[in-house]
Chain A
Amino acid sequence: MTNLFLLQLLNGMQFGILLFLIAAGLTLVFGIMDFVNLAHGVIYMVGAYLAVTFSQMTGSYGLGLLLTLPATLVIGLVLELLVFRKLYDRPHLDQVLATFGLVMIITEGVEIIWGAAPLSVQMPDLLSGSVPLIGPLRYPVFRLVVIAAGLATAVALWLIITRTRIGMRLRAGATNRAMVSALGVDIKKLFTIIFAFGAMLAGFAGAMVAPILTVDPGMGESVLILAFVVIVIGGIGSVKGAFAGALLVGLVDTLGRSFGPIILRSFLDPSAAGQAGRVLAPMLVYILMAVILAARPAGLFGART
């Protein structure tokens, strides 16, 4: 039981880290530009597909991952220049519609290029083993690497945001948008950078999970909505909030699915507990969001509503 708990704890962390990579860029875009981007999830999906293709071309997952980063960065740049840039001053409704249109285009485009059937990528031999945790319990090395890489990214982001000039501007802008222009920052350039960088983080997340998840055109969608939940919980514009929210969502979702039925069994008879658990577990993170919102409409670390 303790072992299972530890295992699921790690799985939950790994899922949370993944959500953080996606939510980090998104929350900055939302906070600083007051912009709704529904197309962020498809970039994650494209990142996974690119990792598959680049890995096959180079014969190495590591190289494939490295090539995916600049590729998704460029995709982010192009989308920003062609589409998003024209939408900043528009009502949210227009932003929602245009990015929804992009989701349709990109998802369908991916199906045309790669087909609708799920793909996978070979995990590098070096990382395909597992390491002992406690007792007989072992954990896949690759998943540990995902956690480590995600944490390293979080630390790097934290350093950028707290220690650099651009980071200070980001923080100022995320809590008070008028402030950015008051500081005389070249907003257009800043926006472009944030967008491209956010896209790269999402692409990174996609590439990271390509070896452990099936790569299919729908993979970005559920993750996108969970990233929204993360951002709402953490507070729009707060990278710290995104980190806390992502871990919370990752852990609650993973642990809820495995331990929900077990906990329910202490009040209900086993078959009812199993059924209730199956129904409740996937809803848990949304209930969590509702509870947090009811208490704090601006989210855990949010300044604005």
Chain B
Amino acid sequence: MSLLDVRNLRKSYGALKVTDDLNLSVDEGELHAIIGPNGAGKSTLIAQLSGQAGSDGGSVRFDGTDMMGMPMHKRVRAGMSRSFQITSILPGFTALENVAVAAQAGQGSSFRFLAPVADEAALNDAALAALARVGIDDRAFVKAGSLSHGEKRQLELAIALATRPRLLLLDEPLAGTSGAEADRLVEVMRSLKSELTLVLIEHDMDAVFSLADRISVLVYGRIIATGSPDQIRSDPKVRAAYLGEETEDA
């Protein structure tokens, strides 16, 4: 059975159909990449799946549960987390605190008012582990706002991991990273494949084709093809849609 099942999902901004009767099925344990030219509606799709943006119609089922109308924070608690294309961190918190507060969401009540949270070993250990996994544990006590761009991308992933999702929606995790940082993130994603299900939106085609179990191609709000990397590479519709497209997303 598929872990994430999207049927006839729709969303329009005025006359513009951004998501147009979209169907998508993500199997438990796979890394499912979604590619498509600029303006295909990839980020909107992530926003709809995560609950950040509403949908005009259709259904989103996660592990058999209807997610439509469920706010973002409840979807996260149900096991579906996301990362942001444009880095979204807590700049005044240290890197460690950014991740620890994510771990805190999944561990017990946050209506505790007197005990110092900085002394909670369980949260700090979980945070350090997530930071180590993405390779910035040496920057744990630096204010997140002062991290380099690449480090912020790594932190973004660590935060998402700390929510211990079953399904992780990654919105261009490599955007703006340098070669070494990108390699590191690709390796992290590869290692995650055995632990959780991933939906990856990414423009770096080398990364996508080396990581993905299956790829769906999104054009003008519709999935025009789904298949293994080899099937997608040779699909004539995909070649037509992608002719000359190899640019950064807007």
A–B contact at 8 Å CB threshold (below): no
- Using a CB–CB cutoff of 8 Å, the interface residues on chain B facing chain A are none
